[in-house]
Amino acid sequence: MISHGKFYLDVGDGLHIRLLEEEDAPALFALIDADRESLRKWLSWVDRTRTPADSVAFIRNALEQYRNCTGLHAGIWQDSRLAGVIGYVMDINNRRTMIGYWLSTPYRGRGLATRACMAMIDVAFSKLLFNKVEIYCAVDNHDSRAIPERLGFKPEGVLRQYEWINDHYVDVVAYGMLASEWREIRKKLKGE
């Protein structure tokens, strides 16, 4: 999983997750730029990502978070092509993390985000020993909400006007999963 201090996770069937590096900035920017209208509907940072330099700055900040154990931002790669990003925002003191994710339109609807989330949840509970994983999704973002619901997360409430997306506030559903719950749910998901 971690080799020479770098995060790498083989999910199988050509899908892997690895820490974003500066050399990934052109591919990351191109992915965002090609799908800008779709991504900006739910992601506030898209309009602030105007040049490849913005992607370099994001990756540098992400690597600093990784070194400080406060976050991890990794590319989701399908058959060696960048498909999207998945990451943790970590709260080490309270042994919890929040997972965020996005995929470019051509990669959606194929189960990649669900599989990537499942792998990252496994790492959060089995390797990082977190007690809780949280996922926050805009109430109206049904595609994103389908992932925690499919994975057995419990909705813990709606946070009203929680996030500013471009020109308006959106309500967000907070989903949670405890380590003790995941063991049983994972067995069911894997058919064990």
- pLDDT per residue as tens digits for the range 79-129: 999 999 999 999 999 999 999 999 999 999 999 999 999 999 999 999 999
Mean pLDDT computed over 130-150: 97
Q: What is the dihedral of CA 76, 125, 39, 164, to 10 degrees?
A: -150
- pLDDT per residue as tens digits for the range 27-53: 999 999 999 999 999 999 999 999 999
Flag whether pLDDT at 192 surpasses 70.
Answer: no
Nearest alpha carbon to residue 90 among 33, 128, 39, 141: 128
The predicted structure's pLDDT at residue 4: 41
Higher-confidence residue of 109 and 1: namely 109
Residues 6+ apart with CB under 8 A from 174: 134, 135, 136, 155, 156, 157, 158, 159
Higher-confidence residue of 187 and 51: namely 51
3-state secondary structure of 160: strand
Which fold, 2-134?
Answer: Aminopeptidase (3.40.630)
**Tokens read off for 189:** 């998901």
The predicted structure's pLDDT at residue 12: 94
The predicted structure's pLDDT at residue 5: 59
- pLDDT per residue as tens digits for the range 153-186: 999 999 999 999 989 999 999 999 999 999 889 8
Beta strands in 32-130 (DSSP E): 71-78, 81-91, 96-103
Helices 112-126, 142-150: crossing angle, 10 deg rounding: 50
DSSP-derived secondary structure letter, 153: P
In the chain, where the domains are located? 2-134
Flag whether pLDDT at 139 surpasses 60.
Answer: yes
